[in-house]
Amino acid sequence: MPLPRRTARAAAGAAIGIAAVAAGGLLATGTAMGSDDDALVATADATVPIVLTRGKPLVEPPVVRSENGRLKLTLSAKVSRTQIAGGTAISNVWNGLFPAPTLEIDPGDRLEIDMKNDGQFGEATNLHTHGAHVSPKNPGDNVFLSIPTGGEHSYRYDFPEDHVPGMLWYHPHRHPLVQSQVFAGQAGALIVRGGLDDLPGVGDVRDRTLVYQVTQFENGPRPIRQPSSSTPAKQLQLVNGQLNPTIDIRPGETQRWRILNASSDKFLVLRLQGHSMFVIADDGNPRAETQKVTTQFIGPGERREFLVRARSRPGRFALQSMFFVPVRAQPSYSAPTRTIATMVIKGPQATRRPVPTKLLPVEDLRTERVDRRRRIVFSESRTSPRFFVNGKEFSATRIDQTMRLGDLEEWTIVNTTDEWHTFHIHINPYQVTKVNGKPVRGITYDDNVVVGPNGGTVTMRTRFKDFTGKFVFHCHVLFHEDNGMMSTVQVVPR
Ligand SMILES: [Cu+2]
């Protein structure tokens, strides 16, 4: 029986599992503990004791900060023991960490990363600083570069003095191996300081980084390799590598939560029981005005920053990942609603402060003159896992679009398929002006947005500033990207 087109390739790599051995915490050797996460563990190799811990206080990834304008770090990509969900697993991670450290820099800083490929199944790799407005040329954010097993490469990213402050991230980008390496846990947050950090009511409240990742346990003591997208119910939805951690907050206290969807393929629909969320930034770009929402739709690769103000009485409130069907024809591709973290209101009453409504001044490109318009069409094969941009599968040797430095362009992305995709472009963020032909209210800048199925469109405006060179745009559902839904662009001098 032929496999559905979206799973054929995943299934080829799915006979690889994860080892989780006893390391303290809650021991489960086959007894379900009342959730589907436990049921999947019960099916794992009965000879290997499996530990899954949930409900522990949230631990944020270790932070590495720049000093004197410089941050230097070595990343080793290697199959190694790592902590996932309170147990010891084996996965293909960086520096043994799931997720990787949070990097913090200031605009104008130089980020130096020595990337070492220390094995990882004989696969090549590389590095991408997602959301960074830096040069796409060596030794910068060149995603065409390949680091073979045993090789290394020194990346040097010079962030401009006027870089927009916010939450970026970093992950591998070696075509066509991105999905498996990100699914294994190779991802970390990258924070550019400033901007909203200086705004009262935002910069002076507790600031928490939440890295959302999805991975999967399989049989036996072997590393995770590839998601099986047809079994999302078996996947663990993790925050900072933890299952349903608790996030403590005082009654009436406001906190700033920065969430990164570092899953390889999962559309996250987020809800916080009993509370509104006040959105202040998208993909590392501060908003002009706060937006109050009850749910947030965060595609793979996106970031969202928001304020949460706790109720005035103690209590527990679930942060939920809601049931969502990315492919209407195949509802089995979706996971049931899960609690991915629990906000626990406790302790002494905090002074209740107003949530700021005005944030930072943001340029509105809708009033500017457009130099050129383009139409970008996402499509896919109905019979095989092949995905296309303007009818073509990705080729690194072809140049699909050429833009002039400094030009302002308007692009309309059209999704002709029956499933959701995202549109991500490197180097320059863009302002979304229309969704499905309807003008959007307010001003938001993104580097990655969702594009709805069956003729859904997103229209955006962007200026190709500061940097010439060759880079890419693509769908951030990494299975789609790895199977062709990526396109090359170059910026040339005027
Ligand atoms: Cu896609």
> Which of 360, 391, 417 marks a domain boundary?
360
CA of 481 to the centre of ligand 1 (A): 7
Residues 321 and 417 in one domain: no
How many structural domains compose the chain? Answer: 2
Q: Which of 209, 237, 236, 242 is nearest to 82 (CA)?
A: 242
Three-class DSSP labels, 414-430 = EECCCECEEEEECCCCE
CA of 31 to the centre of ligand 1 (A): 37
Residues 68 and 139 in one domain: yes
Residues 411 and 320 in one domain: no
CA of 267 to the centre of ligand 1 (A): 11
Ion ligand 1 contact residues with beta carbon within 5 A = 421, 475, 477, 480
The answer to whether 459 touches 489, Cβ cutoff 8 Å, is no
Residues 260 and 114 in one domain: yes
Interatomic CA distance for residues 213 and 179, integer angstroms: 12
Burial of 57 (0-12, 13-18, 19+ CB in 10 A): exposed
Quote the tokens at residue 83: 């902590």
CA of 420 to the centre of ligand 1 (A): 6
Residues 401 and 415 in one domain: yes
CA of 299 to the centre of ligand 1 (A): 10
- Alpha helices (H) in 34-84, listed in sequence order: 36-42
CA of 269 to the centre of ligand 1 (A): 17
Domain-embedded: residue 2? no
Task: Give bridge partners of residue 90 from the DSSP assignment.
Answer: 81
Residues in the chain: 494
CA of 139 to the centre of ligand 1 (A): 29
CA of 484 to the centre of ligand 1 (A): 10
CA of 391 to the centre of ligand 1 (A): 14
CA of 93 to the centre of ligand 1 (A): 24
CA of 24 to the centre of ligand 1 (A): 40
Q: Which of 201, 168, 164 is nearest to 358 (CA)?
A: 201
CA of 458 to the centre of ligand 1 (A): 14
> Which of 360, 377, 405 marks a domain boundary?
360
CA of 462 to the centre of ligand 1 (A): 21
Residues 299 and 375 in one domain: no
CA of 64 to the centre of ligand 1 (A): 32
Q: Which residues touch 46 (CB under 8 Å, ≥6 apart)?
A: 29, 30
CA of 421 to the centre of ligand 1 (A): 4
Distance of CA 85 to the CA centre of its chain: 19
Interatomic CA distance for residues 367 and 281, integer angstroms: 22
Residue with the two structure tokens 């099986």 = 228
Residues 434 and 311 in one domain: no
CA of 436 to the centre of ligand 1 (A): 17
**C-alpha angle 449-486-169 in degrees, rounded to nearest 5:** 50
Q: Which residues touch 441 (CB under 8 Å, ≥6 apart)?
A: none
CA of 485 to the centre of ligand 1 (A): 7
CA of 476 to the centre of ligand 1 (A): 6
Interatomic CA distance for residues 426 and 157, integer angstroms: 14
Domain-embedded: residue 6? no
Q: Which of 304, 305, 229 is nearest to 4 (CA)?
A: 229
Residues 143 and 24 in one domain: yes
Domain-embedded: residue 477? yes
CA of 333 to the centre of ligand 1 (A): 14
Residues 404 and 324 in one domain: no
CA of 483 to the centre of ligand 1 (A): 10
CA of 29 to the centre of ligand 1 (A): 38
**E strand residue ranges, 56-160:** 63-65, 70-84, 87-94, 102-105, 110-117, 128-130, 152-158
Interatomic CA distance for residues 236 and 98, integer angstroms: 13
Domain-embedded: residue 336? yes
CA of 163 to the centre of ligand 1 (A): 28
Residue-wise pLDDT tens for the chain (494 aa)? 333 333 333 333 222 223 232 222 222 222 223 343 333 333 334 334 456 789 999 999 999 999 999 999 999 999 888 888 888 888 899 999 999 999 999 999 999 999 999 987 889 999 999 999 999 999 999 999 999 999 999 999 999 999 999 999 999 999 999 999 999 999 999 999 999 999 999 999 999 999 999 988 765 445 567 776 567 777 889 999 999 999 999 999 999 999 999 999 999 999 999 999 999 999 999 999 999 999 999 999 999 999 999 999 999 999 999 999 998 888 878 888 999 999 999 999 999 999 999 999 999 999 999 999 999 999 999 899 999 999 999 999 999 999 999 999 999 999 999 999 999 999 999 999 999 999 999 999 999 999 999 999 999 999 999 999 999 999 999 999 999 999 999 999 99
Quote the tokens at residue 198: 């200086």
State the pLDDT at residue 213.
97
The answer to whether 144 touches 396, Cβ cutoff 8 Å, is yes
CA of 487 to the centre of ligand 1 (A): 13
The answer to whether 457 touches 437, Cβ cutoff 8 Å, is yes
pLDDT digits over 163-174, tens only?
Answer: 999 999 999 999
Domain that holds residue 439: 365-492
Other CB atoms within a 10 A radius of the CB of residue 384 amount to 13
**E strand residue ranges, 19-60:** 27-28, 50-51
Residues 62 and 186 in one domain: yes
CATH of the domain at 236: 2.60.40.420
CA of 475 to the centre of ligand 1 (A): 5
Domain-embedded: residue 3? no
Residues 256 and 340 in one domain: yes
Residues 146 and 163 in one domain: yes
CA of 300 to the centre of ligand 1 (A): 10
